[in-house]
Structure 1
């Protein structure tokens, strides 16, 4: 099982790694669902992190439809960030019809210049998750799809997430399903058992008081890892 944890600061990143996370998703403005972090923060974290750092590329939280100006900003951010030791870019783009915007996605993948990509929870607003997943599976650089199964909480979409995992298996070279949103130390074992996901994503679920911007809680991290280890056995 892979455990990805959101980091907002260098201290978050250090704490997540020390507590056993396998990977970090670095964002800013968590209250807006995560935006592109400051370049200086990304540089510091990627320079010192012992685990992979996936960096959010999202210029605003108004929608997942982007203007030419938005695209220019995203591509410029990616160009700057490519200088650092990144694990992946985290991004997503939709059309007005709520399908994957392949024209803009191709431009972003070109800008990634070989750095792997996670397609983020823009996916959950697609008109058909299966259709969107099959579209993303056409692009080898997209290694992961972060999803809550189209619901605010992944716990309310367990059957849908299980179907996506199954679809990924049938497609062969499909991205890995990374389940996130609403997961807690208390619910993760049952969730993993029912969905058969092999990768999970935590934000507020491993923070003090379950609050999105609070510091990471080592006890909650330990509880999540214990549950994942127990399932693996």
Structure 2
């Protein structure tokens, strides 16, 4: 059966996605950075309140995926914390300076995960050689690869996504980046059976008083009185379309 993973930037949004029919949550913080490791409080709330699988991202900073020794120690500590709290999986990725999978560090990551399902995230899209990376991740025992097909959007990356899906003998290929209701069928037609979407919307903050001329962000145009959250209607519509497509294929 086709599965829909929803990227959520907080537990309230994750609960909304679960209620709308999401199959799995990728739990993150910092949407402006493309997703960073969620806080300890967020992780503990997720374990207490959600019933569908939650896979937290482990990413200590924005930018690329070539980490210093100190940053890699953070990654390992976060993996320990997540494993000890019983999460079924997590999302992580480490590259070397030449854009290849950092095999030495990823072997350490896999050992620390100790049975958790590991998704190698869109660090894959910055890899020098995607087919070589696929084989290396297969050998490492990674459960799935989240990828846009090495393009800005997964729709543009469909040729590589098809090739990866046809080639893989291990990891599930999960399309992400610009996956939405309007193009969802293209991915299913290409043979992908797991899709990743933020299905997000901007909602207004409940604050009535709004101080003018003071910003908490270095980006001047940031609207600090709106929040990124899941559009539960969109999640429901996407999951419904996936179920409909699956029923047609079965018939």
TM-score normalized with structure 2 length: 0.85
CA distance in 1 between partners of 2:202 and 2:60 (Å): 28
**Structure 1 residues 46-57: aligned runs within 5 Å:** 46-57=47-58
TM-score normalized with structure 1 length: 0.92
Per mean C-alpha deviation after superposition, the further-off stretch among 177-186 and 215-224 is 215-224
Q: Report deviation, 1:83.
A: 2.1
- Structure-1 residue corresponding to 2:147: 147
**Structure 1 residues 1-233: aligned runs within 5 Å:** 1-140=2-141, 142-168=142-168, 171=169, 174-193=170-189, 195-203=190-198, 206-208=199-201, 214-233=228-247
Residues 47 and 85 in structure 1, CA contact (< 8 A), matched pair in contact too: no
CA distance in 2 between partners of 1:87 and 1:226 (Å): 25
Give unpaired runs (5+ residues) of structure 2: 204-225
Q: Report deviation, 1:199.
A: 0.2
Give unpaired runs (5+ residues) of structure 1: none
Structure with larger RCO (C-alpha < 8 A, sep 6+): 2
- Structure-1 residue corresponding to 2:219: none
CA distance in 1 between partners of 2:115 and 2:125 (Å): 25
Q: 1:3 to 1:213 in 2, by over 3 A?
A: farther
Q: Report deviation, 1:213.
A: 5.0
Q: Report deviation, 1:207.
A: 2.0
CA distance in 2 between partners of 1:213 and 1:190 (Å): 30
Q: Report deviation, 1:227.
A: 1.6
CA distance in 2 between partners of 1:73 and 1:208 (Å): 31
User: Residue 214 of structure 1 aligns to a residue in which SS?
Assistant: strand
CA distance in 2 between partners of 1:90 and 1:219 (Å): 26
Q: Report deviation, 1:230.
A: 2.1
Q: Report deviation, 1:107.
A: 1.3
User: Residue 78 of structure 2 aligns to a residue in which SS?
Assistant: helix
Residues 47 and 84 in structure 1, CA contact (< 8 A), matched pair in contact too: no
Q: Report deviation, 1:13.
A: 1.2
Q: Report deviation, 1:101.
A: 0.5
CA distance in 2 between partners of 1:190 and 1:92 (Å): 27
